Amino acid sequence: MSEPTIESILQEKRLFPPTPEFSQNAQIQSLEDYQQLYDKAKADPEKFWADLAETQLHWFQKWDTVLDWKPPFAKWFDGGKMNISYNCLDRHLTTWRRNKAALIWEGEPGDSRTFTYAQLHREVCQFANVLKQLGVKKGDVVGIYMPMIPEAAIAMLACARIGAPHSVVFGGFSAEALRDRLIDGEAKLVITADGGWRKDAIVPLKAQVDKALSNNSVPSVTNVLVVKRTQQEIQMEPGRDHWWHDLQQGISADCPAEPMDSEDMLFILYTSGSTGKPKGVVHTTAGYNLYTHMTLQWAFDLKDTDVYWCTADVGWITGHSYIVYGPLSNGATTLMYEGAPRASNPGAFWDVIEKHGVNIFYTAPTAIRAFIKMGEQHPKTRNLSSLRLLGTVGEPINPEAWMWYHRVIGGEKCPIVDTWWQTETAGFMITPLPGAIPTKPGSATLPFPGIIADIVDLEGNTVPDNEGGYLVVRHPWPGMMRTVYGDPDRFRRTYWEHIPPQDGKYVYFAGDGARKDEDGYFWVMGRVDDVINVAGHRLGTMEIESALVSHPAVAEAAVVGKPDEMKGEEVFAFVTLEGDHTPSEELVKELKKHVVQEIGAIARPGEIRFTDALPKTRSGKIMRRLLRNLAAGQEVAGDTSTLEDMGVLDKLREGV
């Protein structure tokens, strides 16, 4: 693990308080209000969350205990019964929201659909009945490999409704990556589409599913449900594959939500770590519902009149928590868009905002940098006056991108809500409450009420202000992941024992380096483990290395992140070759293609450098720090005395 460095962090002093108008209309209106709320939550977290659970959610049966904490395993609201699909749909139907737009969808080729709460409820019930008809039962894991179409959200809610945990796999992952995830989760059924639009091209999703399931390599999967989207020819395997529109014919729209235990698994979502294969992060029902509900409501100051747009993909946690569950649980109007920022249509995003009068816009720094590059004439020629709040997530936002977002998109009046969180945390952990907390460009500001965050050294001691350290959380929260699917030991080791417990007190280790300034503001610097962040996508360097080594020409590979202006980081691979294989441009191309095949396009190396040897310590560990320096074109910094063969460095600089 590398030490976080603070030299790279800007000493950013600018402060942007919310406008008086924004504060006056906000749920939490001043720094004092935030402080009070924070102190109250800190003094008695269980009471704080229990009060909110009581007033904000519908329960079939109330819980017995708020928190059962046997570190590092937590149960929240144990004994309670509820259903998140009920909270997202049914409870709104008896209010005026029945005919409110729940989901507005914009398709890539210009088509669009809107579902009211009543309509969405009907679709979800029908979908749930189809799943039941195909034999899916409570507790069965369902794989979802879908484009950004309404049916992705409908499928998730339908699974939740009948108590079948979903395991959504991002549509950009390869057949191999999909297969691994389906096997790990022992999925019974896969929901997919014929294809999906991605940047002017069609991704053949069904063909990838066929490949993933070929040779009976995932025996647990007995059915595949296919939504028609792109209309191209696909293979349908009789008995296994079914068209959604066929099964929907004549199916009942009556499907009461299954009362679920608070701690029943809601979903698995795979994410990359520093070692081994991706981890199946497990989230459960009630705590997840409460946490995504409250964080969205307060951090985005959600109002019933808002049109809210989060640009993430449902294949990531941001899509789960803040396109589907958080907004719908709050009865909001959530907008879903099939497209991505692309040069062929540089005004597309701003057209969507103008067309639907979007009030809250939530995106990633990498997208903002792409917009900057495309030019401000595109947003400037659209009417963006409906916007009242802007959010960002996924990586530290560079102050220039922040300022551009603030000036060009926000018209200098919208608060910028920089939300720090992770797949593991379910929802925002460090974030401004926009009516209360003045923002600083590049800082996620202060912890959400109920979150006890700190910066510590490797022994778990709090470090002084403005000194770099490891970001940790000192008290359980309702949205925390419960375990790694099938591997509780890995959960314990990765997140809770990295910083050794002091006096039996466990702290959650996030894997990020950060510092806290004199105002208590958090500045997240990025990962301190072997995880890299490419265009907001989290990738384990080990996964990419295994993919490379699985190619017959490769003997050894070491992957590091190279700083990249647009993507934040880019995959940089150092490779040694097997036997008589020789470096060539063709081989570079082939290896890049191979990684795409093994993992997906998001992991494609930007650069591959061949070398005779990798720099190793005498004990055989690859010295990644040196490789990071080399990839960035920097002088090799720090101690190299443990390097086994000094000559390796010179050769690496040149490449072979």
Interface residue list for ligand WTA (CB under 6 A): 271, 316-318, 393-396, 418-423, 444, 510-512, 524, 526-527, 533, 538
Using the Cα atoms of residue 338, residue 224, residue 600 and residue 492 in order, give the sign of their dihedral. positive
**Cα gap 614→557, rounded to integer Å:** 8
Nearest to ligand WTA of 422, 629 (CB atom): 422
Nearest to ligand WTA of 237, 519 (CB atom): 519
Residue 8: CB minimum distance to ligand WTA, A: 13
Residue 392: CB minimum distance to ligand WTA, A: 6
Residue 255: CB minimum distance to ligand WTA, A: 31
Q: Which amino acid is present at 363?
A: T
Distance, C-alpha 364 to centroid of its chain: 11
Distance, C-alpha 341 to centroid of its chain: 18
Residue 446: CB minimum distance to ligand WTA, A: 13
Nearest to ligand WTA of 63, 509 (CB atom): 509
Q: By Cβ distance, which residue is nearest to ligand WTA?
A: 423
Task: Count the Cβ atoms, other than its own, within 10 Å of residue 7.
Answer: 5
Residue 494: CB minimum distance to ligand WTA, A: 13
Residue 510: CB minimum distance to ligand WTA, A: 6
Q: Helix, strand, coil shares of the chain as percentages rounded to 5? A: 35, 25, 40
Could you tell me the CA-to-CA distances from 118 to 73, 168, 369, 514 in Å, in that order? 38, 25, 38, 45
Nearest to ligand WTA of 337, 421 (CB atom): 421
Could you tell me the CA-to-CA distances from 477 to 299, 317, 524 in Å, in that order? 16, 17, 20
SS3 412: coil
Nearest to ligand WTA of 244, 495 (CB atom): 495
**Cα gap 195→231, rounded to integer Å:** 8
Residue 171: CB minimum distance to ligand WTA, A: 16
Q: Which amino acid is present at 53?
A: A
Using the Cα atoms of residue 165, residue 169, residue 175 and residue 181 in order, give the sign of their dihedral. negative
Task: Count the Cβ atoms, other than its own, within 10 Å of residue 214.
Answer: 11
Residue 651: CB minimum distance to ligand WTA, A: 32
Nearest to ligand WTA of 244, 420 (CB atom): 420
Nearest to ligand WTA of 289, 318 (CB atom): 318
Residue 234: CB minimum distance to ligand WTA, A: 30
Residue 575 dihedral angles phi and psi, to the nearest 5° = -135, 135
- Among 591, 629, 624, which residue's Cα sits nearest to residue 607? 591
Exposure b/e, 268-281, CB count within 10 A at least 16 = b: bbbbbbeeebbbbb
Q: Which amino acid is present at 8?
A: S
**Cα gap 412→391, rounded to integer Å:** 14
- Among 122, 50, 132, 3, which residue's Cα sits nearest to residue 463? 3
**Cα gap 197→191, rounded to integer Å:** 17
Cα–Cα–Cα angle for 582, 585, 588, rounded to 5 degrees: 85
Residue 145: CB minimum distance to ligand WTA, A: 18
Nearest to ligand WTA of 192, 431 (CB atom): 431
Cα–Cα–Cα angle for 135, 318, 601, rounded to 5 degrees: 85
Residue 316: CB minimum distance to ligand WTA, A: 6
Nearest to ligand WTA of 81, 628 (CB atom): 628
Residue 61: CB minimum distance to ligand WTA, A: 32
Nearest to ligand WTA of 396, 615 (CB atom): 396
**Cα gap 307→610, rounded to integer Å:** 50
**Cα gap 358→53, rounded to integer Å:** 29
Element (H, E) at 653: helix 647-654
Q: Which amino acid is present at 494?
A: T
Nearest to ligand WTA of 77, 470 (CB atom): 470
Distance, C-alpha 525 to centroid of its chain: 18
Nearest to ligand WTA of 213, 393 (CB atom): 393
Residue 511: CB minimum distance to ligand WTA, A: 6
Nearest to ligand WTA of 158, 532 (CB atom): 532
**Cα gap 109→111, rounded to integer Å:** 6
Nearest to ligand WTA of 271, 611 (CB atom): 271
HSE-CB for 121 with a 13 A CA cutoff? 24
SS3 245: helix
**Cα gap 634→579, rounded to integer Å:** 31
Residue 326: CB minimum distance to ligand WTA, A: 12
Using the Cα atoms of residue 505, residue 509, residue 510 and residue 515 in order, give the sign of their dihedral. positive
Nearest to ligand WTA of 63, 428 (CB atom): 428
Element (H, E) at 198: strand 196-198
Element (H, E) at 426: none
Residue 127: CB minimum distance to ligand WTA, A: 27
